[in-house]
Amino acid sequence: MRSIDMSPERPIRWAIVPALLVLFGLAGTARTQEAAIDPRVERQIELLATGNDWARAVAAGSLGELGSRAAVDPLIEALEDDNGRVRAAAAGALGRLEDPSAVPPLILRLTDAEAEVRTAAADALGGLKARAAADALLGLLQDDAWRVRAAAGRALAAQDDRRSVPYLLAALEAHESGERVAAAGALGEMGEPDAVDPLIRALGDRNRHVRAAVAAALGEIGDIAAREPLADALEDDQVGVQAAAARALGQIGDGRSLHLLSAALRDREPELRTAAAEGMGFLGDEQAIPHLMAALGDEDRDARLAARRALLKIGGPVVGAAIAGLENEDPQVATAAAIILGRVGDHRGVDPLIAALDDDRHALRDAAENALVEIGEPAVDPLIRALDEGTLEQRRLSARALGTLRSAAALDPLMAALEDPAWQVRAQSALALGNLGDRRAVGPLRVLLEQGDPRTREYAMQAIAILEAH
């Protein structure tokens, strides 16, 4: 059974919360309760109130994941649970729910007897960016527990409170590697310029996790002074450090790093190849395009996706290479090229994509059709021409794309396509007319229905039903 104290002292203790709400300007904050609470939330609230220690802690964590504001009050109450794990789980859940009314009770937990609870409360307040907690968090930088100090540093960095900088710089040399990792991350998040030299020195840390965090922080700060040390870090004996250095070199944005990243893009380690592609995306250099296009065929899915994202960051200059990529023998490269052309949305991609509608690779045809839909209005007239003049597959997929685009200009061409010699085109044109929603198509669709072709009958009936329901 839950062991929350129900003695008279508990209401007296919590009587200060309304006063804190007023003090921190949160008295007017309303927690909107759902009209109908999710049964899963109700069950977890019940467990939070009645379960054993383990069940209450799990219930608190689950309520944070479920994201229901109906859980805020029960979780605030659980901050007073007599079990430290339950209090810590409740604090973490309140941080995820991001309800500002949780700030005052979370501040009270910064003085909890359990380090785990103080840590969770500090992290939650950091997530809430609770400036009202800044002074209390500063006090925690002197806590006996390194995890608490690290959480307080993270929370202050999230608020860009530079009063934490002296502690964070000193913490780069702390005994516990976790505290060093946290300090590096916080300094990077703040973009602290005074941290560049200490972080460069910390690239030589004995712990690989610290070195990786330091490299990432230098990338976030973006100071050119870190370029050469990060280039050296590409030779680290740990791939995680190499990957962090690759991303950071891209974030710094010096074009001289391109040759380093292109070499890393060919490394045997997929994690480094992925990071190199991401770094090229940050770099945004057009000279990276050929390397990234080749990486679209990487055997590793993450590396392929990173290359695609990087090319999309480069944007317009990639169109020519993507058009050429549609004819690449590697189906993964060709399909990715079609996706890129759709996302970039450049009209120059329209005709090559229409040509790709006739490719013998199913995935490429689908990607080309979706890309044309993404490009939108500039693709309408070329699709109408393809509906009239293209191959069977081009006509069929053009009809489908025009139906998805729902362009009024496609009405007459699609009605004309109901007389196409290929039943597949007639059927797809019927469905497209249904999507257009123009009742003028009902007559031609009835003619198609009366022709009695069993292959198109169902499609014509479906389109007529849609239009007559409008």
Query: What pLDDT shows up at residue 36?
Result: 73
As a whole number of angstroms, the distance between CA 135 and CA 454 comes to 77
17-25: long-range pairs with CB below 8 Å, 24+: 17/76, 17/104, 17/105, 20/104, 20/105, 20/107, 20/108, 21/101, 21/104, 23/104, 24/103, 24/104, 24/132, 25/132
Of 464, 399, 401, 398, the residue nearest 437 (C-alpha): 464
User: Does the pLDDT value for residue 372 go beyond 70?
Assistant: yes
Q: What would the CATH number be for the domain defined by 1-159?
A: 1.25.10.10
As a whole number of angstroms, the distance between CA 59 and CA 57 comes to 5
Using a 10 angstrom Cβ sphere, with 0-12 exposed, 13-18 middle and 19 or more buried, the burial of residue 73 is: middle
CB 90 within 8 A of CB 119: no
| b/e burial code for range 116-144 (CB count within 10 A of at least 16 → b) | bbbbbbbbbbbbbebebbbebbbebbebe
How would residue 37 be classed by pLDDT, with cut points 50, 70 and 90?
Answer: confident
Query: What pLDDT shows up at residue 437?
Result: 94
Query: What pLDDT shows up at residue 467?
Result: 94
93-142 pLDDT, tens per residue?
Answer: 999 999 999 999 999 999 999 999 999 999 999 999 989 999 999 999 99
As a whole number of angstroms, the distance between CA 194 and CA 184 comes to 12
User: Does the pLDDT value for residue 209 go beyond 90?
Assistant: yes
User: Does the pLDDT value for residue 15 go beyond 80?
Assistant: no
Contacting residues for 234 by C-beta, under 8 A, at least 6 apart: 242, 245, 246, 249, 260, 264
Query: What pLDDT shows up at residue 246?
Result: 98
Helix axes 146-158, 177-190, angle to 10 degrees: 10
- Rounded to 10 degrees, the C-alpha dihedral 322/328/332/338 comes to 30
As a whole number of angstroms, the distance between CA 278 and CA 272 comes to 10
80-104 pLDDT, tens per residue?
Answer: 999 999 999 999 999 999 999 999 9
Query: What pLDDT shows up at residue 31?
Result: 45
As a whole number of angstroms, the distance between CA 304 and CA 264 comes to 14
254-313 pLDDT, tens per residue?
Answer: 999 999 999 999 999 999 999 999 999 999 999 999 999 999 999 999 999 999 999 999
User: Does the pLDDT value for residue 52 go beyond 70?
Assistant: yes
Q: DSSP letter string over 273-301?
A: HHHHHHHHHHHT-GGGHHHHHHHTT-SSH
Q: Report residue 353 CA to chain centroid gap.
A: 28
Using a 10 angstrom Cβ sphere, with 0-12 exposed, 13-18 middle and 19 or more buried, the burial of residue 452 is: exposed
Instruction: Please report, for residues 283, 307, 331, 380, the alpha-carbon distance to residue 301 in angstroms, rounded to integers and kept in the order given.
Output: 22, 10, 14, 33
148-172 pLDDT, tens per residue?
Answer: 999 999 999 999 999 999 999 999 9
Mean pLDDT over 54-64 rounds to 95
End-to-end CA distance of the chain: 58
Structure tokens that stand for 121 in this block: 């409360």
Q: DSSP letter string over 185-242?
A: HHHHHHT-GGGHHHHHHHTT-S-HHHHHHHHHHHHHHT-GGGHHHHHHHTT-SSHHHH
CB 261 within 8 A of CB 255: no
How would residue 470 be classed by pLDDT, with cut points 50, 70 and 90?
Answer: confident
CB 141 within 8 A of CB 114: no
16-34 pLDDT, tens per residue?
Answer: 444 444 444 444 444 444 4
Mean pLDDT over 30-40 rounds to 64
pLDDT more than 70, % of the chain? 93
Query: What pLDDT shows up at residue 451?
Result: 87
307-348 pLDDT, tens per residue?
Answer: 999 999 999 999 999 999 999 999 999 999 999 999 999 999
Tell me what the pLDDT averaged over the chain comes to. Answer: 91
Domain boundaries along the sequence of the chain: 1-159
